[in-house]
């Protein structure tokens, strides 16, 4: 059901995808989809959570190997490089789904609330990284982790990732290099 929903949301968008479509594509009844997920919003929420967590959807993000490696790194510049590479991998999976949620939020109040919740979750995760960065040394201009988290939230956004990848046609490597360089300039002391 998740694979069918993922495919349909990405191909047809939020409005054009129905529970009946998802059920038919998954080879189950509509009642089964409702019984397992409740509604389209819950389905999209689950798809986004799984996309964020990647190949290990049952393990919280902060306990996954890549995140642990970033947290254990003591050199701030290297932390940022590892973060940029890791977030690019996550954004490649989650940004298209976040785009579906963003578009749905424009016309659906429940989806607007979900989209805001997802953005708050992103900010919390990025403030976690900013705190880790700050533990390894001062941030530029004695910036606090909250301000650093906001910079991370803006620059490592799904929207900006899609703009660079889809419109600019930048490679993932180009995105990683740009994000890493930008974050070092904005967050680290000169």
Tokens representing residue 80 in the block = 């940022």
CA dist., res. 51 & res. 35, Å (int) = 22
CA dist., res. 158 & res. 98, Å (int) = 7
Decide if 104 contacts 111 (C-beta within 8 A): yes
- Hunting for tokens 């992103």 — which residue is that? 122
Decide if 133 contacts 76 (C-beta within 8 A): yes
Q: Which of 130, 122, 131, 129 is nearest to 159 (CA)?
A: 122
CA dist., res. 16 & res. 162, Å (int) = 21
Decide if 148 contacts 139 (C-beta within 8 A): yes
Q: What is the distance between the terminal CA atoms of the chain, rounded to a whole angstrom?
A: 50
Q: With H, G, I as helix, E, B as strand and everything else as coil, classify residue 136.
A: coil
Decide if 177 contacts 187 (C-beta within 8 A): no
Is residue 116 predicted with pLDDT exceeding 90? yes
Per-residue model confidence (pLDDT) at position 68: 87
What CATH number belongs to 56-187?
1.10.357
Q: What is the pTM for the complete model shown?
A: 0.90
Per-residue model confidence (pLDDT) at position 190: 86
CA dist., res. 115 & res. 98, Å (int) = 8
pLDDT in tens, 67-93: 889 989 999 999 999 999 999 999 999
Per-residue model confidence (pLDDT) at position 58: 80
pLDDT in tens, 15-62: 999 999 999 999 999 999 999 999 999 999 999 999 998 888 787 777
Domain edges within the chain: 56-187
φ/ψ of residue 63, rounded to 5: -105, 0
CA dist., res. 35 & res. 33, Å (int) = 5
């Amino acid at each position: 059901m998740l694979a069918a929903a993922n495919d349909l949301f990405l191909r047809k968008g939020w409005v054009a995808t129905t529970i009946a479509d998802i059920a038919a594509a998954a080879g189950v009844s509509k009642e089964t989809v409702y019984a397992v997920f409740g509604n389209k919003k819950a389905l999209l929420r689950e798809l986004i959570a799984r996309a964020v967590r990647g190949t290990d959807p049952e393990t919280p993000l902060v306990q996954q190997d890549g995140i642990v490696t970033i947290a254990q790194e003591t050199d701030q510049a290297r932390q940022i490089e590892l973060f940029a590479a890791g977030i690019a991998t996550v954004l490649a999976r989650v940004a298209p789904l976040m785009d579906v949620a963003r578009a749905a939020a424009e016309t659906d109040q429940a989806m607007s609330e979900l989209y805001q919740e997802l953005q708050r979750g992103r900010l919390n995760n990025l403030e976690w990284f900013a705190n880790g960065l700050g533990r390894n040394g001062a941030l530029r201009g004695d910036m606090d982790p909250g301000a650093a988290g906001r910079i991370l939230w803006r620059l490592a956004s799904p929207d900006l990732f899609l703009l660079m990848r889809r419109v600019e046609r930048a490679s993932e490597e180009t995105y990683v290099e740009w994000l890493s360089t930008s974050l070092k300039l904005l967050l680290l002391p000169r």
